[in-house]
Amino acid sequence: MRGRTLVLTTTNGTAAMLAARGAAAAAVAALTNVGAVARWVLAQGRDATVLCAGEQGAFSLEDAVCAGILVERITAGAGRAGRSVEASDAAAAARCLGAHYAGRLGALLEDATWARTLARAGRAADLAACLALSTVDEVPVFDDGAIVPGPVTSRGGGRP
């Protein structure tokens, strides 16, 4: 797809990105790039909001787990840099979910409604790829109404 334009609309991600239109900067996070996005957020040097796309306008367990792992990595990275993070109650709850699932992401295949739906539809291999934690260093960013390739964030000194 490099160098080509892809037009994709979703019931969840599109609405979330449109809600982020007014932000100074917006990135797309997933379990696969959560470490890279945490490094990107820390490099921005400003307050951040983590926005979950959800499922049909409702809570999504896998989104909350990803958000929680992201918040944990941002908090840990900020702490190593001598900075503090003030998290909302929602962020604290997401962190709890992230901590619960971080070492056992495969459990989401049974616990998350949408994952079960996709598995029944024969998409288990796709789900397994989506649950691979921090395997990608690219950070897609939302720019002028489009998601475009953003920076590749080096792991440098390890986590986030």
Whether residue 135 is contained in a domain is answered as: yes
Whether residue 158 is contained in a domain is answered as: no
- What is the Cα–Cα distance from 39 to 74, expressed in whole angstroms? 7
Q: Shortest CA distance to 50 belongs to which of 60, 63, 39?
A: 63
In this structure, what CATH number is given to the domain that contains residue 127?
A: 3.90.1560.10
- 104 pLDDT above the threshold of 80: yes
Query: Is 55:41 a contact under the CB 8 Å cutoff?
Result: no
Whether residue 154 is contained in a domain is answered as: no
Point out the least confidently predicted range of 41-45, 119-123, 136-140, 149-153: 149-153
Whether residue 8 is contained in a domain is answered as: no
Q: Which domain holds residue 76?
A: 13-148
- 154 pLDDT above the threshold of 70: no
**Tens-digit pLDDT profile for residues 78-95:** 999 999 999 999 999 999
Whether residue 157 is contained in a domain is answered as: no
Task: Scan for tokens 């260093």, then name that residue.
Answer: 137
Average pLDDT, the chain: 90
**Tens-digit pLDDT profile for residues 122-150:** 999 999 999 999 999 999 998 888 888 88
What integer is the mean pLDDT of 64-86? Answer: 96
Total structural domains within the chain: 1
Dihedral, CA atoms, 73, 79, 84, 90, nearest 10 degrees? 30
Whether residue 98 is contained in a domain is answered as: yes
Phi first, then psi: what are they for 45, rounded to 5°? 65, 30
Query: Is 58:113 a contact under the CB 8 Å cutoff?
Result: no
pLDDT at 160 (0 to 100): 54
Rounded to two decimals, what is the model's pTM? 0.89
- What is the Cα–Cα distance from 67 to 10, expressed in whole angstroms? 19
What integer is the mean pLDDT of 100-114? Answer: 95
Query: Is 150:138 a contact under the CB 8 Å cutoff?
Result: yes
Whether residue 2 is contained in a domain is answered as: no
pLDDT at 158 (0 to 100): 46
Whether residue 46 is contained in a domain is answered as: yes
More confident residue, 76 or 7: 76
CA distances from 55 to 7, 15, 90, 92 (A): 20, 11, 17, 21
